[in-house]
Structure 1
């Protein structure tokens, strides 16, 4: 075998040993290393590109998972399926009603006190008239007077029916004008000091439960001065050891609805 290289002829590995003019193989290892290096460099380019693409893709998936809550990961592995549209939150109407009131009606919610711990609350047209937060509640009967024509708040007061003077309640109820709306929520004890006249005045406002209202009963009521029929807005929970939710008290009552505004009186 000759050691000459012909122009343009490929160099084969089986002829590498003859490339040395002296006929020895001292530089064979270096030549082999050079050729292996060339082969490695040919492979390094594509491998480096694959590695870069893999790293970029992994970084994108991790970032999308952190910022997008995992939906991008699901789309990547499971296909481009649209996320289900979440159900909208239920609409909140005035005073928390489940539906809006008709025109010329007032939305209200009345909640009695719970035992002698949590005070009552009266809401009208999304405005809180009486609550512990407003610091205008008291033991006994909590009452709000509202103009039945305009819906304007006239006055709020509380009457202690355990140790108070019932005459204060009578003075409050006697002079009511025709069409005045009366909202009542009990707290603790609504009836110990209640006398016949007080019960009669509430009956004239449309109450039917006030006749039997007793010690520590829960009571919510909405009536009006001059009402022709009995009020549809009234609830009473009797104080009974066998059914009381709390020790010594029945559960709190909650009532809501829509009250029609009264037509202006003809003058």
Structure 2
């Protein structure tokens, strides 16, 4: 039986429509995404506007003007190294290959936010005198970012603990073998620093065998006003 003219037209239009839907499915058009979601039940990929926005160093909210955004992550056991991020720049990480066992420290100008120095001090087998030489001559207003890795305290002596206390630390005097520690202090700080966390090494609560869990801390640090001459 031959198809009549109108029926032929209808069949042709149906074929064109199916071809369009198939092409969109294969090449990722909006129609294809909707069709794929309809048949598979998969969620449509969220648009950039739908995704939670992250700010500098992964903060969930932006810092106020004249503040520095930061994130510190202590090392995980003796396997994954620490991280120090400042103003969306990774200053210290395993990827940059500039971390080490002990205390990983970044010095930053508290007025300009400029990175001054980065060093690692082995607090298990190193010489604490190197740490003392690093901390003693700090200038007023220098910001000190610290992230521990593996063991931050075996070589720590009374003078080193006192120097960290003068930077605003409240836990340096008690810091012990394989504790996890993150800290931001400043030379000349009048009060104790609000940016400090410690996880004590304890067999009963350690996340890893022989080590506590890693610590993560972020926030916004106000820049100091320049000194009047």
Task: Specify if TM > 0.5.
Answer: yes
- Tell whether the 8 Å contact from 2:179 to 2:201 is kept in structure 1 after alignment: yes
CA drift of 1:61 comes to: 3.8
1:188 equivalenced with 2:154 (yes/no): no
| Greater relative contact order (Cα < 8 A, sep 6+) | 2
Q: What does residue range 77-226 of structure 1 map to in structure 2 within 5 Å?
A: 88-226=50-188
For 1:128, what is the secondary structure of its paired residue? strand
Counterpart in 2 of 1:56? Answer: 16
Please, what is the CA RMSD of the aligned residues? 2.3
Counterpart in 1 of 2:32? Answer: 69
For 2:159, what is the secondary structure of its paired residue? helix
Q: Deviations over 1:78-126 (max 9, x none)?
A: xxxxx9x966111111010010011111000011000000000001111
Find the structure with the greater CA-based Rg.
Answer: 1
- Give the direction of change, closer, same or farther, for the CA distance of 1:74–1:173 in structure 2 (3 Å limit): closer
Q: Deviations over 1:167-208 (max 9, x none)?
A: 000000000000000000000000000000000000000000
In the aligned structure 1, how far is the partner of 2:163 from the partner of 2:36? 70
- Structure 2 unmatched ranges of 5 or more: 39-43
Q: How many residue pairs align between the two structures? A: 219
CA drift of 1:74 comes to: 9.6
- Tell whether the 8 Å contact from 2:126 to 2:155 is kept in structure 1 after alignment: yes
CA drift of 1:53 comes to: 3.6
CA drift of 1:135 comes to: 1.3
- Give the direction of change, closer, same or farther, for the CA distance of 1:150–1:50 in structure 2 (3 Å limit): closer
CA drift of 1:266 comes to: 2.1
In the aligned structure 2, how far is the partner of 1:198 from the partner of 1:143? 14
- Tell whether the 8 Å contact from 1:218 to 1:237 is kept in structure 2 after alignment: yes
Point out the structure with the larger helix share: 1
Give the TM-score, by structure 2 length: 0.88
